Amino acid sequence: MDTTLQDPLVGQTLDGRYRVEARIAVGGMATVYRAVDTRLDRVLALKVMHPTLATDATFVERFIREAKSVARLDHPNVVQVFDQGAEGAYVYLAMEYIAGCTLRDVLRERGALRPRAALDILEPVLAALGAAHRAGFVHRDMKPENVLIGDDGRVKVADFGLVRAVDTVTSTTGSVLGTVSYLAPEQIEHGTADPRVDVYACGVVLYEMLTGGKPHEGDSPAQVLYKHLHEDVPPPSAAVPGMAYELDELVAEATARNPGVRPHDAVALLARARTARAALSDEQLDAAPPQALAGEHDNAEDRTSVIPRALTMPRPLPVNEDGDGAPADGVHRTSRLTAPPPPVRRRPELRRGPLALVAAVLLVLGLGTGVWYINSGQFTKVPPLLSKTEAEAGDRLRDAGLDVGTVRHAHSDTVERGKVISTDPGVGSRIRKNDSVSLTISDGPRTVKLPDVRGYRLDRARALLEDEGLEPGMVTRAFSEDVPKGYVVSSDPETGTEVRGGSAVALVVSKGRAIDVPDVTGEDIADARQELTDAGLKVEVAAGKVTSPEYDEGQIARQTPAPGSRAAEGDKVTLTVSKGPAMIEVPDVVGDSVDDAKRTLKDAGFEVREDRGLLGLFGDTVKKQSVDGGDTAPEGSTITITIR
């Protein structure tokens, strides 16, 4: 059945500009339509927030933040956002229309993909996320539904609806936003998100492309969340025997439960993906995947959801009467996971009598009178005025028998200067004729002169940027001879630049002055510690000792960072102490030819010295060796052979 026929927006023109033609998809927060921009005569995608959420200021703010965030990303693998607006209960984004399908459609139809195809999809996804991460944003809801594959083969990332600034701690005590199957452990446990949560989600997506299934399955969302917290993502080769080791490693790195072990952002993961691809042969890249069942995917856990934090805590899971952990009525609820409501006591039904019948008749008569009165010409509706000039809006109001009320001005990142941002009452509202409608006119985007944050501590610099309405963006660290460690060296854009309000500002923070790490190998622990401390470095001695043919017991055999590398003041140098060379058995070479004896001893790990004397100048047989065969000597030590 074509459900779009029942959608009230299909066939309507939104905001006097966008003619809605068909419904494409329905998500947890919004519905996406194919529409035509009647002003520019082009097909686009219209993402309209569910009217039930449009009254929630938090969701509206997130929706508008998506438009602002993506509008700053100019990347071929990111779905473009053209416009943002509202009409009545409908808040919308006008976006680039991609004729094709989602990665979820591909996985549902085909199951697992060949490794080459999986990497061909993963790499542009990581390129898009890398651009977002370097611009200072985290997607937070990566999943196959948000990967669009065009009919021309282009891969694009969509739905930045949960986007947040990098280095912004996004923690909530009551709930977690995201999609159950792709949430990183730190999102579940603490509600925090940085670029590594996108890396984790991409690792899960890669696993799904390689195997045709999700790494963590469960009878309920709570079970899936528990597995993300307490179980590693299995290697793809466990599901697909013969899968290349490099792909197992790539998935393991991306989905490490400890975020500190993962690649730090999508750019770093992209480099690892390309390295893995280069290590694979054509046979490995084109290995046929196992046959998977198509069309049986259950998308109950694929919707972006508001997940109560209580579900993320390990505890016994509820079961139904059958003990299978599914809802007793068999219905999967995916939009908001909440505890079942308490039983509601119903009021007893009132018996209908003559008085009720009289009241009903009066109500009908009253309603009939009201309809007649409204239709008698006393009321009208506020005409479409958004994105019109002030003069055009005035003409439309007068044509509708209305007056222009108060005219206010406000900045807008999405509405052109001089055009109407909003009206009061809102467009489409019923209003008495000859009443006035107030207009808010755009002054264009608010511009801010970037404050000078150089020389401030990082936390203070961020606060200064936020005070000016700017977003603290990506933080990188560099050596500086002049700026103390932890203080800002520079910003991008530079100080004094005029930028749009809400723009992300990248910061370079000092690692302190650069120190050339001294070489302390061969020294004893006390001397090595003193030399490194004098250089401004901290010292840590590794717990275990190593055998070393080069260094005696108690001497430093190894150091990290290596000698000559650069470190910041206060950085730690780890020292590994030698327990001396290994003692190994000396081969018996008496009676062997000189060449055979030397070869045998060197293969055993020894150096060899010849002692010929006058009698052995022309000899070729070993008559004696400095350490008898069968005894032990330090690995790498010299064995002298006497030749006669």
For 607-637, the pLDDT digits (tens) are 999 988 776 677 889 999 999 999 999 888 8
Q: Which fold has domain 514-577?
A: Trypsin Inhibitor V; Chain A (3.30.10)
Burial class (CB in 10 A: 0-12, 13-18, 19+), 334: middle
Euclidean distance between CA atoms 393 and 399, whole angstroms = 10
Which residue type, as a one-letter code, is found at position 171?
S
* CA terminus-to-terminus distance, the chain: 101
State pLDDT tens for residues 495-550: 888 887 777 888 999 988 889 999 999 999 999 999 999 999 999 999 888 888 88
Q: Which fold has domain 384-437?
A: Trypsin Inhibitor V; Chain A (3.30.10)
Q: Do 101-315 and 447-504 share a fold? A: no
Q: Which fold has domain 583-643?
A: Trypsin Inhibitor V; Chain A (3.30.10)
Q: What pLDDT does residue 358 have?
A: 36
Judged against a pLDDT cut of 90, whether residue 64 lies above it is answered with no
Q: What is the DSSP secondary structure assignment for residue 151, as one 8-state letter?
A: T
> Residue 262: pLDDT band by 50, 70, 90 thresholds?
very high
* Residue pair 13/20 in contact by the 8 Å Cβ criterion: yes
Q: Tell me the mean pLDDT in the region 178-186.
A: 85
Q: Which residue has the tokens 């999986």?
A: 118
Q: Which fold has domain 447-504?
A: Trypsin Inhibitor V; Chain A (3.30.10)
Q: What pLDDT does residue 298 have?
A: 47
State pLDDT tens for residues 394-444: 999 999 999 999 999 988 766 788 999 889 988 888 888 889 999 999 888
The per-residue pLDDT of the chain, averaged, comes to 80
Top mean pLDDT of 209-213, 219-223, 503-507 is at 209-213
State pLDDT tens for residues 88-140: 778 888 999 998 889 999 999 889 999 999 999 999 999 999 998 888 888 88
Q: What pLDDT does residue 191 have?
A: 77
To which CATH superfamily is domain 1-97 assigned? Answer: Phosphorylase Kinase; domain 1 (3.30.200.20)
Euclidean distance between CA atoms 160 and 149, whole angstroms = 17
Euclidean distance between CA atoms 539 and 352, whole angstroms = 88
Q: What pLDDT does residue 619 have?
A: 83
Sign of CA dihedral 373, 378, 380, 382: negative
Q: Which residue has the tokens 């808010």?
A: 440
Q: Is 141 a catalytic residue?
A: yes
Lowest mean pLDDT among 333-347, 448-462, 500-514: 333-347
State pLDDT tens for residues 572-604: 999 999 988 888 899 999 999 999 999 999 999
Q: What pLDDT does residue 376 have?
A: 41
> Residue 454: pLDDT band by 50, 70, 90 thresholds?
very high
Q: What pLDDT does residue 616 have?
A: 63
Judged against a pLDDT cut of 60, whether residue 470 lies above it is answered with yes
* Residue pair 284/115 in contact by the 8 Å Cβ criterion: yes
Q: What pLDDT does residue 140 have?
A: 87
Q: List, in order, residues 6 or more apart from 334 with CB less than 8 Å away.
A: 28, 299, 300, 301, 302, 303, 305
| Residue extents of the structural domains in the chain | 1-97, 101-315, 384-437, 447-504, 514-577, 583-643
Q: Which of 37, 41, 120, 141 is catalytic?
A: 141
Q: Tell me the mean pLDDT in the region 378-393.
A: 87
Q: What pLDDT does residue 114 have?
A: 95
352-368 per-residue burial string, b: 16 or more CB within 10 A, e: under 16: eeeeeeeeeeeeeeeee
DSSP notation for 577-617: EB--PPEEEPP--TTSBHHHHHHHHHHTT-EEEEE-TTTTS
Between 371 and 638, whose confidence is greater? 638
Half-sphere exposure of 268 (CA within 13 A, CB side): 13
Q: Tell me the mean pLDDT in the region 231-254.
A: 93
Q: Which fold has domain 101-315?
A: Transferase(Phosphotransferase); domain 1 (1.10.510)
State pLDDT tens for residues 553-567: 999 999 998 998 888
State pLDDT tens for residues 16-31: 899 999 998 887 778 9
Structure tokens belonging to residue 302 = 């694929």
What is the helix (H) or strand (E) element at residue 472, kind and residue range?
strand 471-478
Strand 42-49 and strand 155-157: pairing? unpaired
